[in-house]
Amino acid sequence: MSAPFEAGEKVLLIDQRDRTHLFSLRAGATYHTHAGTLAHDDVIGRPEGTRVTTARGMVFAAFRPRFADFVLKMPRGAQVVYPKDLGPIVVYADVYPGARVLEAGTGSGALTIALCRAVGEQGRVVSYELREEHLAQALANVESFFGKIPDQLEMRAGDVTDAAAGEERFDRLVLDLAEPWAPLGALRAVLEPGAVLCAYLPTTIQVHQLVLALPRSGFLHIETFEVLKRGWHVTERSVRPDHRMIGHTGFLTLARVGPED
Ligand SMILES: C[S@@+](CC[C@H](N)C(=O)[O-])C[C@H]1O[C@@H](n2cnc3c(N)ncnc32)[C@H](O)[C@@H]1O
């Protein structure tokens, strides 16, 4: 990735006040900022870290976006899982290279992208989405991020409970939907022994209902937590927490598939 920028790839421009702009490079095109225009051609062919200046003298540094930058800027149909939770979901659900993951709902595709990266080309992600417009947005986001729909991903329109009718077995089940307790009983049949479930829920009422339902569906070793990220403002004269933070996103609940009764 140390190669110079090429037309077609994404660039993240960062100004002197750390404001960011994300867009795709096109030969001959112009990008409009609050501080004047700049030519895409000023970035194409140059290395990361290159400084570019708008017609009105604003200086930006050009980098390839990180996955976290892309998630925060990508178009949303449904609310995305924030980067602060994506990492813990992948680690605590133990999504490893080669794993077979069943996911729902696809939503805007942020978690789907994280799962595809974690399982790698040897793994598999089957992702279900009920709403057509969300699936269309997720397809566009996944394609925009990877440049194509990755081979390890299959996106399906429909209810995740439909997976119970198939022959395919999964090592991990990742649910970001309002009523994850509903499909549990049916999906247990397509989960390998020892499989890990991770459910992501915004309210304590949902967490309570899920945790009470899990043992009844044969899951055990149940754990719930949330992840708090507090930014810090660090300058020469002051070191203190940021005034603002995202105070709440969602709770992670994890469980393992227990032995057959
Ligand atoms: C909060 S969004 C998921 C966001 C996604 N994790 C992301 O990071 O972009 C929840 C999605 O679940 C879908 N959904 C709800 N119940 C479902 C079900 N039983 N099967 C499949 N999708 C479902 C909804 O239509 C919605 O798009």
**How large is the average pLDDT for residues 189-208?**
97
CATH of the domain at 160: 3.40.50.150
Residue 5 belongs to some domain of the structure: no
167 and 200 share a domain? yes
* pLDDT of 217 strictly over 80: yes
Measured from the CB, is residue 156 less than 6 Å from ligand 1?
no
49 and 92 share a domain? no
Going by pLDDT thresholds of 50, 70 and 90, the confidence category of residue 136 is very high
102 and 141 share a domain? yes
> Which residue in 164, 225, 215, 175 sits closest to 197, CA to CA?
175
In this structure, are residues 86 and 112 in contact, taking their beta carbons and an 8 Å threshold?
A: no
Residue whose CA is closest, atom 16 of ligand 1?
A: 177
Angle (CA) 91-162-256 rounded to 5° is: 35
Question: What's residue 241's pLDDT?
Answer: 97
Going by pLDDT thresholds of 50, 70 and 90, the confidence category of residue 67 is very high
Given ligand 1 and candidates 128, 129, 153, which is best to mutate, with the most ligand atoms within 8 Å of its CB? Answer: 129
124 and 49 share a domain? no
**How large is the average pLDDT for residues 240-260?**
94
Report how far ligand 1's centroid is from the alpha carbon of 54 (Å).
41
113 and 193 share a domain? yes
Question: What's residue 55's pLDDT?
Answer: 86
Distance between CA 255 and CA 94 in Å, rounded?
11
Q: Which atom of ligand 1 is nearest to the CA of 109?
A: 9
36 and 78 share a domain? no
Report how far ligand 1's centroid is from the alpha carbon of 136 (Å).
13
Question: What's residue 144's pLDDT?
Answer: 96
46 and 114 share a domain? no
**How large is the average pLDDT for residues 166-188?**
97
Question: What's residue 261's pLDDT?
Answer: 67
* pLDDT of 35 strictly over 90: no
Can you give the pTM of this predicted structure? 0.96
31 and 97 share a domain? no
Q: Which of 20, 47, 65 is the last residue of a domain?
A: 65
> Which residue range is the domain that position 55 belongs to?
10-65
106 and 174 share a domain? yes
41 and 87 share a domain? no
Q: How many domains does the chain have?
A: 2
Residue 1 belongs to some domain of the structure: no
